[in-house]
Amino acid sequence: MTLVAKAESLGPATEFVRKGAREANLPESRIGELDLLIEEILMNIARYAYPEDAPGIVTVSYSIPLPGELALEVGDQGVEFDPLTASPPDLTLDLAQRPIGGLGILLLQTFAKSLTYRREQGWNRLRFGIVANP
Amino acid sequence: MVHPRSTVTIEQTQVGNKVVLRVAGRMDAENAAQFERQCESCIARGFTSLVIDLNDLTYVSSMGLRSFVAAAKKLRDKGGDLRICRLTGLVRQVFEITRLNQVFPPHDSVESALLEG
């Protein structure tokens, strides 16, 4: 599916990947993680990929390589960004020093199985999986 | 349009000079600000010690985590604090991964969070 890269697209994108989760027979316990992954990726694109006054598009697709396994791809045409090479946040800081944000990429790197990134003809393409029994 | 996936309810109870906020549902990009506003409203009414009961919170994203950190910083600036209690499931996992469980050492009960300090 193709959506505008805005926070308002989070609902439809979530419903779409949940449909994939049902088709792949993923257990309910994996749905929260799937929701989290799609939110972190989509919100990152919505906030940083495109100029604020000119939001672009985001594509979300899925396939089921094996029963109990959901493979997802999210694409955007914004600035090049590879979340696999993003600097990790400093988790040792106390409240006074902690920045307010910056934890989304860590959650993505933690929960996504087989996370890969490629830049292809102006597109960022992020692939990852969710499996029934990790 | 608010999508049906995204609902959070926040119930507020005053206990002495502290306020307990019972947060239930999901805290995501669409509604995390609601929690922050509720904390700000408590601060505006002079309450700077908040206990946040997360027993019925089933989901929190990084946008939700931002609002905890932002609210805690505001409370700290006023000489108060934010205490978290009753983390479960995915929410507990997210706090552990981000080590926010070290910034907000979680309490097992509302009572123990109220007693401390």
DSSP A67: T
Average pLDDT for residues A117-122, to the nearest whole number? Answer: 96
Q: Which residues contact B112 (CB under 8 A, 6 or more apart)?
A: B85
- Would you give per-residue pLDDT tens digits along chain B (117 residues)? 334 556 899 999 999 999 999 999 999 998 889 999 999 999 999 999 999 999 999 999 999 999 999 999 999 999 999 999 999 999 999 999 999 999 999 999 999 999 876
Name the pTM for this structure.
0.93
Q: Please name the residues between 58 and 117 in chain A that touch chain B, using a CB distance below 8 Å.
A: 89, 91-92, 94-96, 98, 100-104, 106-107, 110
Residues of A in contact with B62 (CB under 8 A): 40, 43, 101-104, 107
* Residues A73-86: tens digit of each pLDDT: 999 999 999 999 98
Q: What residue in A sits closest to B77 (Cα-Cα)?
A: A96
Encoded tokens for A50: 């495109």
Segment holding B97, helix H or strand E:
helix B89-97
Reported ipTM: 0.92
**B79 vs A: CB within 8 A:** no
Q: What residue in A sits closest to B89 (Cα-Cα)?
A: A29
- β-bridge pairing A123-131 and A69-76: antiparallel
Alpha carbon B1 to chain centroid, angstroms: 25
* Residues A13-31: tens digit of each pLDDT: 999 999 999 999 999 889 9
- β-bridge pairing B49-53 and B81-85: parallel
What confidence score (pLDDT) does residue B117 get?
62
**8 Å CB contact of B97 and A33:** no
Of B3, B62, B76, the CB nearest to A107: B62
**B10 vs A: CB within 8 A:** no
* Residues A65-115: tens digit of each pLDDT: 999 999 999 999 999 999 999 888 999 999 989 988 889 999 999 999 999
**8 Å CB contact of A95 and B73:** yes
Given a contact cutoff of 8 angstroms between Cβ atoms, the answer to whether A108 and A126 are in contact is: no
What confidence score (pLDDT) does residue B5 get?
59
**B1 vs A: CB within 8 A:** yes
Question: What percent of chain A clears pLDDT 90, i.e. is strictly above it?
Answer: 86
Q: Which residues contact A93 (CB under 8 A, 6 or more apart)?
A: none
A134 pLDDT more than 70: yes
**A11 vs B: CB within 8 A:** yes
Helix H segments across B1-117? 32-44, 62-77, 89-97, 100-103, 110-115
